[in-house]
Amino acid sequence: MDFNYHNPYTSTRLPLFARNVVSTSHPLAAQAGLRMLLKGGNAVDAAVAAAAAMTIVEPVSNGLGSDAFCILWDGKELHGLNASGRAPQAWTQAYFAAKYGANTMTPPKRGIDSATVPGAVSAWVALSERFGKLPFAELMAPAIEMAERGYLVPPVVQQKWAAPVEELKAMPGFAQAFLPRGRAPNVGELFQFPAAARALRAIAATKGEAFYSGEIAQAIEQFSAQQGGSLTLRDLAAHRPEWVTPIAKNYRGYTLHEIPPNGQGIAALIALGILDQFDLGAMPVDGVDSQHLQIEAMKLAFADVYRFVAEPSSMEVTVEQMLDPAYLASRAKLIGMRRAQNFKAGNPVKGGTIYLTAADESGMMVSFIQSNYMGFGSGCVEPTFGISLQNRGHCFSLNPDSPNVVAPGKRPFHTIIPAFLTQNGQPVMSFGVMGGNMQPQGHMQTLVRMLDYRQSPQAACDAPRWRFNAGLEINVEASMNPDTVQGLNDRGHRMEVINDSYQDFGAGQFIWRAGDPGVQGYVAASDARRDGQAVGF
């Protein structure tokens, strides 16, 4: 039977209650993590196994050539991991000017010169070595099996897969890896990825060394040179993930934690710091006033983030200055309740991604994200090992006055951000919302629903979202109340109603601690905007 997989009916997801939970945007990856928990592994083992599986079952959004970040609660304290890669040593402004012209403002969007050093594999190894219980090779086993035996492509992944084919089909290695029949797979069609299985076996056997200094690294260097790129074995061997202290902001009696720059997580903290000046709870949850305030707060946050955030050593201001309460209060005063504004950056000196989360009954909770950036990243795929390289280099600037200007060994501005919520120093929720600049917007919108309006994680996840783009331009989901959409339009927001939720509004996974993990456990939510699910026992 050749089914029509478009469901014309509203599908309601119910929250999952369990003592051990994995929530991802693909069911097979969630079950890969669950297999580790059933074997006696912990939440880190589950997260790493799920992350490896996700590179196979959702290759549009992430792959073995991705970057990654993580925030985790180990049972006693919070840890952050920045596994984003750095620019090749050859990358200078002169390098790009010579190849692409002196007036080029950013590195290319696609192609070999958009790929920085991939960091995801290093994140898996670092997490496993420091916090895991099971042997690292065992964590790779589900992903290897899926790559070798194949899996049936689900509806949302298929939609994402087909979308960039025309743009990428001529990129080196792309068709061989991802167009096995000369096209994107159909829904329900088998996809096998033997090259990636070969890479995963080497990664498993060497605990990642093959990727950064062995046979995979050599293959990446050779592939890059063949395409006229500059990514070398030396660049890969120099890569190290960095353990970092998450940055934080209090809101409504809770504390939101984000990875510090070079990521954009600080945008969610700024926006919540601005909203803290208003009594949102007194306004209708889906009404015009509440949504207008959230949009304006997010716009103010992005104005500063896009101006100031970069690799920390290149920033003109500090995180503390950007989050200073007096400064945020002054920014909040710029908001007018009756009219949308196009905000500029202030002066703080005066004042394609997958997300997954796992938690176990010992109390360990993991918030993990990895990404190719745009769909299929650079579009370049090393053929021997199926390494689909990300295109994070496009996030650099070639403007010499920008703090995010490209430089050898520098990390670019990053959009992927895991999040974590605590209260009085104790864990409450590991969560994230994937999707470019939608991520901090999704963090803020879902937290406001939970903390200001007491909506459950699944309800907050399912609720209609908006997305700020630039200037006064806002996209809103078609499910948003038409009166609210009209009211926002009347206040000057340039509204576009979008029927395709995948394209603009991200997707989240949430695990909320319901009490003692060994007794009450957790309540988990998985976004219906993806193929995923939360699983547990």
So which residues are the catalytic ones?
A: 353
Alpha helices in 150-277 (DSSP H): 155-162, 165-168, 174-178, 194-206, 209-212, 215-226, 233-237, 266-275
- How far apart, in Å, are the Cα atoms of 212 and each of 125, 278, 494? 12, 49, 47
HEC per residue, 128-160: HHHHCCCCHHHHHHHHHHHHHHCEECCHHHHHH
What b/e readout covers 315-346, taking b as 16+ CB neighbours within 10 angstroms? Answer: bebebebbbbeebbebbbeebeeeebbebeeb
Specify whether the CB–CB gap between 252 and 452 falls below 8 A: yes
- How far apart, in Å, are the Cα atoms of 496 and each of 220, 487, 529? 42, 13, 19
Three-class DSSP category at 174: helix
Name residue, tokens 């605990």: 207
Instruction: Please count the other Cβ atoms lying within 10 Å of the Cβ belonging to residue 72.
Output: 29
Query: Alpha-carbon distance 490 to 314, whole Å?
Result: 41
Specify whether the CB–CB gap between 83 and 120 falls below 8 A: yes
Query: Alpha-carbon distance 367 to 400, whole Å?
Result: 35
Tokens representing 1 are 């039977």
Query: Alpha-carbon distance 398 to 520, whole Å?
Result: 52
Query: Alpha-carbon distance 399 to 91, whole Å?
Result: 14
